[in-house]
Amino acid sequence: MTEATESIKQSQTSAVGWYEFATRHRASLAAAAILIFPLIMPFTALAVNILIYGLYALGFNLVFGYLGLLSFGHAALFGTGAYLCGIAVVHFDWPWYAAIAAGVFGGLLIALLIGVLAIRTRGIYFAMVTMALSQCIYYVFYQAVDWTGGENGLRGINVRTIDLFGLQIDFINPLVRYYAIAAFVIAALFVMSRILASPFGAAIEAVRENEMRARASGYDVTLTRLLTFVLSGGFCGLAGALQALHLSIVPIEMLHYETSGLVVMIALLGGMGTFFGPMIGAAVYLVLENLVSVWTVHWQLIVGAIFIACVLFFPAGIWGTLIGRGRR
């Protein structure tokens, strides 16, 4: 009897130990998963899309899961990142690293703009204001045909080789492209992990849990919110820039509100407020969509049914439910 209790206790502590280890090294474990990821995917371009949408959802999750604000305008951050990166390459002939920097800067800038205007609102109003502002951004890019190609989209973001300290990397080769983009995504994962583990990360969650108490403890709630939103813009802008380089085009659809809705779905599917959930959500959603749509034209029906099942059986998202079980 006592022996049994002992062993249960022991297994519990070891489970908790594992959990703590995994939490501490979450970014490294995520990086390892990303490195072997293309081997199990149906095709590499899809794996790259999953990385990019995962990063986009990761940035979104910072606001949605950790700060507790539902933004319905994240497409503006993602799309602006893509467009600025694309415009830098097409119209200014900037090298790839400068173009990516332009994309990140675009995400940060638009996030600051939307953030300043929207951050004082709460709940559904925040969702509506961000959505309205992102629609404004959509029309700005839609109308600036000379710069963005308008309806036809921006074409010609053709980066054939990446020059890395004299080393010529063939960006057309699918696997090379995957690992080049993965390098940025992994770097972003480490930065995200660092932000969340920092005192500022704790402040973000404090604001989410109890705004009044956070304010009483001396945190500037508005500034914390704004800063989080802007940081989120940086991640989404990076995702957009990588998408522009990956597909060599920027379609106007990237700025559409459906892209904002998609990221909410991905975050919910994977698990909001979990570190790796957005990546899992992006992988599950995009793989499902791609596999089922090859098989039948009624793919939406099947993906919809699976989505409903996920919501019913994994209320905290796929990853959220799994780690919830692991913790127990």
Partner 1 sequence: MTKTVTKAGLLSRRRLLTTASAGAVLAASPFRINLLQAEEAPIKIGFPVPLTGPYGAEAQDQVRAGQLAVAQFNDAGGLNGRKAELVVRDDKLNPGEAATRTLELVEKEKVNFVVGSLSAAVQLAINNVTKERGIIFNSISQSDAINEAADFSKYTFHEALNPHMTSGAVGRYAFPKFGKKIAFLTADYAYGHEMVRGFLEVGKEFNIENLGDIRHPLGTTDFSTLLPRLQALKPDILCISNFGRDQQIVLKQATDFGVKKSIQIIAPLLSHASRVAAGAQAFEGVVGGCSFYWGIEDKFASTKAFNDAFRKMYDGKLPTDYGALGYGGVRTVLEAVKSAGTVDTEKVIAALEALKYDYYKGPQYYRKCDHQSVQSVLVIKSKSKDMKNESDVFEVLSTEEPSEKNLRTCEALGHKS
Supply the minimum distance, in Å, between the C-beta of residue 64 and partner 1.
22
**Cβ-based nearer residue to partner 1, 7 or 152:** 152
Supply the minimum distance, in Å, between the C-beta of residue 114 and partner 1.
22
Q: What secondary structure, in 3-state letters, does the chain show? A: CHHHHHHHHHHHHHHHHHHHHHHHCHHHHHHHHHHHHHHHCCCHHHHHHHHHHHHHHHHHHHHHHHCCCCCCCHHHHHHHHHHHHHHHHHCCCCCHHHHHHHHHHHHHHHHHHHHHHHCCCCHHHHHHHHHHHHHHHHHHHHHCHHHHCHHHCEECCCCCEEEECCEEEECCCHHHHHHHHHHHHHHHHHHHHHHHHCHHHHHHHHHHHCHHHHHHCCCCHHHHHHHHHHHHHHHHHHHHHHHHHHHCEECHHHHCHHHHHHHHHHHHHHCCCCCCHHHHHHHHHHHHHHHHHHHCCCHHHHHHHHHHHHHHHCCCCHHHHHHHHHHC
**Cβ-based nearer residue to partner 1, 135 or 228:** 135
Q: Hunting for tokens 């539902």 — which residue is that?
A: 70
**Cβ-based nearer residue to partner 1, 135 or 232:** 135
**Cβ-based nearer residue to partner 1, 25 or 155:** 155
**Cβ-based nearer residue to partner 1, 17 or 42:** 42
Supply the minimum distance, in Å, between the C-beta of residue 45 and partner 1.
4
**Cβ-based nearer residue to partner 1, 44 or 321:** 44
Supply the minimum distance, in Å, between the C-beta of residue 276 and partner 1.
23
Supply the minimum distance, in Å, between the C-beta of residue 249 and partner 1.
5
**Cβ-based nearer residue to partner 1, 156 or 326:** 156
Supply the minimum distance, in Å, between the C-beta of residue 106 and partner 1.
18
Q: Report helix angle 277-295 to 299-313, nearest 10.
A: 150
**Cβ-based nearer residue to partner 1, 226 or 249:** 249
Alpha-carbon span 267 to 282, nearest angstrom: 8
Which residues make up the interface to partner 1 (CB under 8 A)?
42-46, 49, 149-153, 155-156, 158, 160, 172, 174, 243, 247-249, 251-254, 293-294, 297, 299-300
Alpha-carbon span 230 to 116, nearest angstrom: 10
Supply the minimum distance, in Å, between the C-beta of residue 247 and partner 1.
4
Supply the minimum distance, in Å, between the C-beta of residue 44 and partner 1.
6
Look at the alpha carbons of 264, 268, 272, 276 in this order and tell me if their dihedral is positive or negative: negative
Supply the minimum distance, in Å, between the C-beta of residue 160 and partner 1.
7
**Cβ-based nearer residue to partner 1, 27 or 254:** 254
**β-sheet bridge partners, residue 249:** 155
